[in-house]
Structures are given as C-alpha cells and as structure tokens.
C-alpha cells in the first residue's frame, strides 16, 4: 500500500478504538496536486527521490521499522493540526505576479511566435513545480527560492511572459520576503527533495531576473 493508504488504515484503527484520527492533507494521490506532504524520517516526502508522499510505498520500509512522521516545519507554514500546515503563502506569492495579465488579443496562428527548443524545454521543466512546499521544509533557512524561481522561470522563458517580466520578478520576491521565508544558502537540499526534480539553476535565473528589474527601476 501507499504511505497515505497506510495512514488511512491507521485512522480506521484509531476511529474503531474511539481515538482521534491523524489529520493529513491529500487530494489527487497521483503526485499531481501537491497537497500531500510530510517529513518522513527526516526527509520531506520520504526517502525515495522525486516522489511525493502519496507515491511513496510501504515496501520501501522494513518490517517492524519505526517510522517518524512530522509536518513540514517553517515559520511561513503555520501548523494547523497534526500533519497539516498552512501553505497559503505560496498562493499569495502567485497572486503577486505568477500570471500573465496582458491582453494580447486573439490567439496567434501556430508557429507564428517561434520559441527556441531549449527555452521551451526549460520552461516546461520549471512549470512541473506542483507547489508542495517540500523545498521549504528541507531548506535549513526555510527558503522558498526554488518554488518562486520555478514560477518566474516558466514565464520568463516564453514570449507571453515578457511584457511583465520585470514587474513580476520584483513583486513575487517582495511577496516571498513578506511571507517570512528565509534566504537561499545554496545548500541544494531543496533540489534533492523536490518530487518533480526542479533544478536550482532556476534560482540563478531568479537572481538575474530580480537584478535586471532592480537596475531598470533605478534608471
């Protein structure tokens, strides 16, 4: 069974015993939505690489093994109950600039706006981020740089994201700081636990985007 199915069985047993079940977040259970998440034996989403908690299976543990399960711990992720934390800070960062609001008229004909293959692939890789928050839980500084850089990169690399490029970088970084996330220390823990394999190269792009926007604002 999967890790979440194990929690379901545990909660059934607790309910039958008249005890309160363990509260945890989940939705699709297919590694798509980013709702699930917990620290298993000190690792966000558990010991398997590029795997969400719902994709983690109990066969990866030994019979009789004691498993330590904790919620994601970060000041910007207030604890709600048991394994559930408030990750709405991510939503507010997206609301600050993670979108395209330019009225570009009707859709362009196919191939009318050519996009370099490398840019298209890098944008798609960044867009794979599901906003689960494992990067924040794993970072010693509880930084959200990997999440923010992925959301900025997926738009900065495409023509649709160019008109608001500078405003987006400043707005999202400011929102990230206001939420209380820490600063990146280049520990790469975020990259190691990311279930979608988001690269820290996106953080370098975020730094360049923010620097470019800041220099333009000073002109």
Structure confidence by residue, pLDDT tens digits, 7-32: 999 999 999 999 999 999 999 999 99
pLDDT tens digit string along 161-210?
999 999 999 999 999 999 999 999 999 999 999 999 999 999 999 999 99
**Same structural domain for residues 60 and 140?**
no
Confidence (pLDDT) at 216: 80
Q: How many domains does the chain have?
A: 2
SS3 at position 81? strand
Domain-located, residue 177? yes
Q: Which residue has the higher pLDDT, 46 or 110?
A: 46
In the structure, what pLDDT confidence band is assigned to residue 112 with cuts at 50, 70 and 90?
Answer: confident
Domain-located, residue 76? no
| 165-178 helix and 145-156 helix, angle to the nearest 10 degrees | 170
What's this model's pTM, rounded to 2 decimal places?
A: 0.93
Residue with the two structure tokens 């900025």? 152
What average pLDDT score do residues 100-112 get?
Answer: 74
Distance between CA atoms of residues 78 and 177, nearest Å: 16
Confidence (pLDDT) at 210: 96
* CATH classification of the domain holding 189: 1.10.1060.10
Domain-located, residue 200? yes
**Same structural domain for residues 28 and 96?**
no
Distance between CA atoms of residues 17 and 83, nearest Å: 21
Neighbouring C-beta atoms of residue 179, cutoff 10 Å: 18
Domain-located, residue 48? yes
**Same structural domain for residues 65 and 93?**
no
Domain-located, residue 81? no
Nearest alpha-carbon partner for 156 in 210, 107, 197, 104: 210
Q: Is the pLDDT of residue 218 over 70?
A: no
Q: Give me the sign of the Cα torsion angle 80, 179, 200, 95.
A: positive
Neighbouring C-beta atoms of residue 186, cutoff 10 Å: 10
pLDDT tens digit string along 113-158?
889 999 999 999 999 999 999 999 999 999 999 999 999 999 999 9
**Same structural domain for residues 66 and 92?**
no
Partners of residue 143 on adjacent β-strands: 182
Domain that holds residue 61: 3-70
What average pLDDT score do residues 74-90 get?
Answer: 97
**Same structural domain for residues 43 and 128?**
no
Neighbouring C-beta atoms of residue 164, cutoff 10 Å: 17
* CATH classification of the domain holding 15: 3.10.20.30
SS3 at position 137? helix
Domain-located, residue 31? yes
């Amino acid at each position: 069974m999967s890790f979440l199915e194990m929690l379901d069985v545990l909660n059934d047993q607790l309910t039958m015993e008249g005890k309160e079940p363990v509260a945890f977040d989940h939705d699709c259970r297919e590694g798509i939505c980013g709702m699930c998440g917990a620290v298993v034996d000190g690792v966000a989403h558990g010991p398997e690489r590029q795997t969400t908690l719902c994709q983690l299976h109990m066969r990866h543990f030994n019979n009789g093994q004691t498993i330590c399960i904790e919620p994601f711990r970060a000041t910007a992720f207030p604890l709600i109950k048991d394994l559930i934390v408030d990750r709405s800070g991510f939503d507010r960062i997206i609301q600050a600039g993670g979108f395209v609001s330019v009225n570009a008229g009707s859709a362009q004909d196919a191939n009318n706006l050519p996009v370099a293959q490398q840019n298209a692939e890098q944008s798609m890789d960044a867009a794979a981020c599901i906003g689960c928050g494992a990067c924040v839980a794993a970072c010693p500084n509880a930084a959200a740089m990997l999440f923010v850089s992925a959301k900025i990169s997926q738009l900065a690399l495409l023509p649709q994201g160019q008109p608001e490029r500078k405003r987006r970088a400043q707005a999202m970084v400011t929102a990230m700081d206001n939420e209380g996330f820490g600063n990146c220390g280049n520990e790469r823990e975020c990259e190691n636990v990311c279930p979608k394999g988001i690269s820290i190269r996106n953080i370098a792009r975020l730094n360049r985007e923010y620097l470019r926007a800041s220099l333009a604002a000073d002109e």
